[in-house]
Structure 1
Amino acid sequence: MGRFDGATVLITGATGGLGRGAAKGFAAEGARLVLSDIDERALADLAATLQAETATLAGDIADEKLSEDLVGLAVGKFGRLDVAVNNAGIVQSFVRLPQVPSDEARRVLEIDLLGVFYAMKHQIPQMERQFRSTAKGGAIVNIASAAGLSGAPKLSIYAAAKHGVVGLTRSAAIEYASKGLRINAVCPAHTRTAMVDGFVRISGAPEAEALAELTRGVPMRRVAEVDEIITAILFAADPANSFMTGHALAVDGGVGAI
């Protein structure tokens, strides 16, 4: 019996490295899935690989209507929404603050911060209604970043957005702690996803050398693997983990201990 048997789990940014890993992880634990990303074809391809009841809806998380429609899809198809993993996000150019183009900064904030705000704005009322009627609430897991817990040179706007995600998480967790909702953030350091692959490619250095530079400040001296971050996401969402809320869970290879 899986930890999420019969639960409806909504995942944004579902076709990226962490989103795809989360979809597979929740499916393996018995969940029914509502998946979203901007690429409709990639969503369909992902859904075809999963051994789970699945509904998909493509769209831009910076458009608030998508978040409203995703909750409606979850309730319309599966009757409820039990878990939301707000994972959709982008990264900025790796440059100092004055070199960040203003339109790029605006787009990062729209997706990485406002996208999470819109998602929670529509997820929370549904979960609160469920708690009032069935005494069974829900869990929200926001994907922030180790950059949301400290300064991040050459990632200033991205760090600002992720600090904002942690702030939204903690604030909403307090507001709804007595209303059946647990709201936590998972804060990964560099993880072996397309973002890290892109850094290696842009650097022009051999992979081992580029990764060594990327992880110079990481006590474990390596990037995280996707499965390691998924373990933390599943833990944060697990109904058995019933007394943890408002927490920003760093999965960072020891960076936060320095």
Structure 2
Amino acid sequence: AALPHLIASKGNIVNTASTAALQGIAYTIAYSASKHGVAAITKGLAIEFAAKGVRVNAICPGHVNTAMGNSAPPPGDVDWALVMRNAPKLLDGMCEPEDIAELFAFLASEKARKITGSLFTIDGGQLAG
């Protein structure tokens, strides 16, 4: 329903994916699958609507200092070696919500007019290695 308005205004979409779209994470299969879907939708829509002037990108946050970002893995028999495999290797702690908001603002701005179909990781180095 929004696409005709986005086309008319040469607007843009900034989706929220996750670093879970870029790597496997133990105990988060459904969440990871949904974020892979967001990444695929982002790229597909970017291709479909680029000629109409609509940009589509996604932000892939890592661990963010929120209730969700600070939650523990599911209770029960948890293999902590698998959990810690994805423990953040962060620059100066977890990302704050404001860090993510700044990237959203940039991607929605005219300064990002040549960016479409991209997945932007903001994770403080979590996926660096």
Cα RMSD, aligned residues only: 2.2
Hey, what does 2:32 align to over in structure 1? 159
Pairing 1:80-229 to 2, within 5 Å after superposition? 122-128=1-7, 130=8, 136-199=9-72, 216-220=87-91, 222-229=93-100
Distance 2:70 2:120 in 1: 24
TM-score by length of 2: 0.82
Unaligned runs of 5+ in 2: 76-83
Distance 1:231 1:217 in 2: 21
Distance 1:148 1:215 in 2: 13
**Secondary structure in 1 matching 2:39:** helix
Residue 154 to residue 215, structure 1, CA distance change in 2 (3 Å) = closer
Q: Structure 1 residue 254 and structure 2 residue 125: aligned? A: yes
| Higher helix proportion (structure 1 or 2) | 1
Residue 198 to residue 214, structure 1, CA distance change in 2 (3 Å) = farther
Match among 107, 114, 123 for residue 236 of structure 1:
107
Q: Which has the higher contact order (CA 8 A, sep 6+)?
A: 2
Moved over 4 A (4+): none
Q: Structure 1 residue 245 and structure 2 residue 124: aligned? A: no
Unaligned runs of 5+ in 1: 1-121, 131-135, 203-212
Distance 2:20 2:86 in 1: 14
* Pairwise CA distance, 1:194: 1.9
Distance 1:160 1:249 in 2: 18
Question: Contact conserved, 1:215 with 1:221, CA < 8 A, in 2?
Answer: no
Residue 182 to residue 216, structure 1, CA distance change in 2 (3 Å) = same
